[in-house]
Amino acid sequence: MEIRRIAGALGAEVLGVDLSRDFSAEGIRRAFLEHQVIFFRDQALDPAQFMAFARTMGKPVEYPFVKGIAGFPEVIEVKKLEHERHAFGGIWHSDTAYLDEPPMGSMLLAREIPPYGGDTLFASQYLAYEALSGEMKKLLSGLKGVNSSSKADVTRTREDMVKEYARSYEAEHPVVRTHPETGRKALYVNFGHTVRFAGMTDEESAPLLEFLFRHQIKPEFTCRFSWRVGSLAFWDNRCAQHNPVNDYHGHRRVMHRITLAGDRPR
């Protein structure tokens, strides 16, 4: 197994691994924790094999707004069709931060890709936090963010998937969280879900949140991944954000995703 970094901030390709056969789960887990998002190429996995790999990394859980594929409730289809203009989850975010226990990680496997475009951007929230001034770190250390599933319509970009769901989720989490495995601190607000600081109004919260939203996705904190059929990405929602680039109108993109259970941010 070879690990090849793709950017200075985060992200690495894992080479020489067939996830349908024997592999070093320990080595993959180390790479995941070190690089925040890891990528595999040419993985011809059926849903059962995809689930089997996911179980070696964590506990697959159902996504709250989208039904799973037939026979695999924890595997959801993320797709944009030829006639659609909006991409599912098409803004910067960390998955389902509006849950009391947001996911540890997410996996995305490419089934169909457009002839061009459709890349995904990732941003290191370790680096975003570490680049802040000492006084800003002090200010943020006592704050909690209120995260809502209804904020930015991440889950409503495909109406046919979500129209039967009326429930809204909301949760408060520390603005700066400590990663439970690495011990590093990461910024934990995101444009997709964070609406205000606990104990403050939306208006009072807006200036600081707007600064943080701009700051945490600076180019020097990011990497970019170009998909091929059979490509698989595995990212750490506790310290990384992602944003699928919606630049392939008129073409079809179909992915399978698995979400892994996490714990309450601290």
CATH number of domain containing 147: 3.60.130.10
Residue 140 CB partners (closer than 8 Å, separation 6+):
132, 175, 176, 187
pLDDT number for residue 167: 73
In a domain, 80, yes or no: yes
pLDDT number for residue 152: 53
Q: Using CA atoms, how far apart are residues 31 and 9, in angstroms rounded to an integer?
A: 14
In a domain, 190, yes or no: yes
Query: 61-71 pLDDT, tens per residue?
Result: 999 888 999 99
By DSSP bridging, strand 222-225 and strand 232-236 are: unpaired
Q: Using CA atoms, how far apart are residues 26 and 28, in angstroms rounded to an integer?
A: 5
Residue the block writes with tokens 């910067």: 92
In a domain, 266, yes or no: no
pLDDT number for residue 166: 55
In a domain, 77, yes or no: yes
Record the pTM.
0.94
pLDDT number for residue 161: 46
Residue 99 has phi, psi (to 5 degrees) of -90, 150
Q: Using CA atoms, how far apart are residues 253 and 116, in angstroms rounded to an integer?
A: 10
In a domain, 199, yes or no: yes
In a domain, 265, yes or no: no
Q: From first to last of its 266 residues, what are the pLDDT tens digits of the chain?
A: 999 999 999 999 999 999 999 899 999 999 999 999 999 999 999 999 999 999 999 999 999 888 999 999 999 999 999 999 887 778 999 999 999 999 999 999 999 999 999 999 999 999 999 999 999 999 999 999 999 998 755 544 443 444 445 578 999 999 999 999 999 999 999 999 999 999 999 999 999 999 999 999 999 999 999 999 999 999 999 999 999 999 999 999 999 999 999 999 99
pLDDT number for residue 157: 43
| Range(s) of the domain holding residue 227 | 2-260
pLDDT number for residue 262: 98
Q: Contact at 8 Å (CB) between 119 and 113?
A: no
Structural domains of the chain, count:
1
Please state, as a whole number, how many other Cβ atoms lie within 10 Å of the Cβ of residue 170: 15
pLDDT number for residue 259: 97
Residues marked as catalytic: 93, 95, 242, 257
